[in-house]
Amino acid sequence: MSEQTRYRRERDSMGEFKVPSDAYYGANTMRAVLNFPISELRFSRSFIEAVANIKLAAAQTNMELGLLENNLGEAIIKAATEVAAGDFDDQFVVDIFQTGSGTSTNMNVNEVISNRAIEILGGEIGSKTPVHPNDHVNIGQSSNDVIPTAIHLAAVGAIKNSLVPSLEKLEKSLSKKAEEFMPVIKTGRTHLQDATPVRLGQEFLGHAGQIQRGIERSNHALKELAEVALGGTAVGTGVNTHPEFATKVCRRISRSLGVEIKETENHFQSQSTLDNVVESSGSMKTIAVSLMKIANDIRWMGSGPRGGFGEIELPEVQPGSSIMPGKVNPVIPESVCQVSAQVIGNDATVSIAGQSGNFEINVMMPVAAYNFLQSIELLARASENLADQCVDGLKATDKGPEMVDRGLAIVTTLVPHIGYDASADIAHKAQATGQTVLEIAIIETDLEESELREILNPESMTEPGVSGISVG
């Protein structure tokens, strides 16, 4: 195949440029591909879908406002619908590490939709006739308001449809285990050292509470992200856009997303900063920290099976070693911990990107979008996987209750009866001799054995009150 056949020549504002003959993108996109040969990272499917939906709603609105001919508008709507559905995903070829406004990707979408609309109307791809990527697809828009709006819309969709349902599933799984494990008494631990007894169900109740707070944080993020920059165009003034454009577009997108999307009341804030994204990314980081805590607790409690705590059994999902036969590792919690580490790192990137707003525009929107949206999806998948492949299959062992009676921290309930120092002395003697606290207390105190058994009853230590002293 000759070069003449493989490529077509297009003109843009900078002159003539070669573009692959079968490409739906154009010269602007091709320049960006050559300018930014940085990585293999590309915008996510959810982001491209969000931009396409903005273009779709924009075309509908511009037709309604009399700014776009119906035949052109209908072709743009059909093309944008196909792009939103993923039919042209291979045409979005611009690197994440591009112009900080995301203009290259906005034009990538404009060109793909324009050329597909031209094809629908029977024209020649690359001709910009009868559908122009700027003059028709981009009416009333700028990359400076489209890209931040797309970040918000993609995140809203991912949080609403993926993250929150996954967290709800995990919270339900943890709550179910909390109820199942509530009769099981085990050694509490602070500083990884023995502490007063706790119910295994109470620990899982704490885990469920962390995820419930994560759901609340996610829902708060939805409210933050529902406010969008569309309508501000280049610098927030709304130049070259109809006064009703953004409101009407937002109304259409709200119906398709099932979430009320509204134009910001302060375009100069909304376009020059990524504050909403930074705050929401912080919520994702907090959820990641919660997941890491839960996953590590499960790993610790399941450690062993003979040389560790061994208080719970984790589902055996795969062989754990290439050299040690029979070894089974906590691979699902380990996966969750790695996801958490990634999300925490992503938040650091988003934070740095967020402070890179200079005057009327932030110049690190693509990298903020990539990391923020990745965090949401990773958290959603990891949460669901933790529920399905780990939490639902957890089993309590007899080891936790067996360790309680030999624990030293149960001496705590003796303090109200004999004082701190005398109780500490009993604990030290029990540790030195290998005897239980009860056995030493029988010798060292004047209390009756029956009274001591009541005071040192582990079950009574798992709820408020003073063991051996009745209230009321």
Give the percent of the chain with pLDDT over 90: 91
Q: Residue 353 has which token pair?
A: 């990107």
For residues 78 and 120, give the distance between their C-alpha atoms in angstroms, rounded to a whole number. 9
Q: Which of the residues 39, 220, 321, 428 is marked catalytic?
A: 321
Q: Once rounded to an integer, what is the mean pLDDT over residues 150-178?
A: 98
* Residue 4 clears pLDDT 80, i.e. is over it: no
3-state secondary structure at position 318:
coil
- Partnered with residue 312 across adjacent β-strands are 396
- Identify which of 111, 78, 77, 118 has the alpha carbon closest to the alpha carbon of residue 94: 111
* Residue 16 clears pLDDT 70, i.e. is over it: yes
Q: In this predicted structure, what is the pLDDT of residue 3?
A: 65
Lowest-pLDDT range, 18-27, 236-245, 324-333? 324-333
- Identify which of 162, 178, 83, 143 has the alpha carbon closest to the alpha carbon of residue 391: 178
Lowest-pLDDT range, 370-374, 401-405, 448-452, 467-471? 467-471
Question: Is 242 annotated in the active site?
Answer: no
* Residue 331 clears pLDDT 70, i.e. is over it: yes
Q: Residue 203 has which token pair?
A: 């620990």
Note the pLDDT tens digit of each residue in 241-269: 999 999 999 999 999 999 999 999 999 99
Q: Which of the residues 13, 191, 450, 470 is marked catalytic?
A: 191
* Residue 320 clears pLDDT 70, i.e. is over it: yes
Q: Residue 166 has which token pair?
A: 């996954």
Helix axes 365-389, 331-354, angle to 10 degrees: 160
Q: What share of the chain is helix, strand, coil (3-state, %, to 5)?
A: 60, 10, 30
Note the pLDDT tens digit of each residue in 64-95: 999 999 999 999 999 999 999 999 999 999 99
Omega before 325 cis (within 30°)?
no
* Residue 306 clears pLDDT 90, i.e. is over it: no
Helix H or strand E segment including 228: strand 227-228
Question: Is 321 annotated in the active site?
Answer: yes
Q: In this predicted structure, what is the pLDDT of residue 1?
A: 54
Q: In this predicted structure, what is the pLDDT of residue 12?
A: 86
> Cα 295 vs. chain centroid, distance in angstroms?
16
**Residue 235 Cα distances to 56, 99, 141, 250, 354, angstroms:** 23, 16, 11, 19, 17
Note the pLDDT tens digit of each residue in 127-155: 999 999 999 999 999 999 999 999 999 99
| Burial degree of 159 (CB within 10 A; 0-12, 13-18, 19+) | buried
Question: Would you place residue 102 in the very low, low, confident or very high pLDDT band (cuts 50, 70, 90)?
Answer: very high
Domains of the chain by start residue, with CATH: 3-139 (1.10.275.10), 145-399 (1.20.200.10), 406-462 (1.10.40.30)
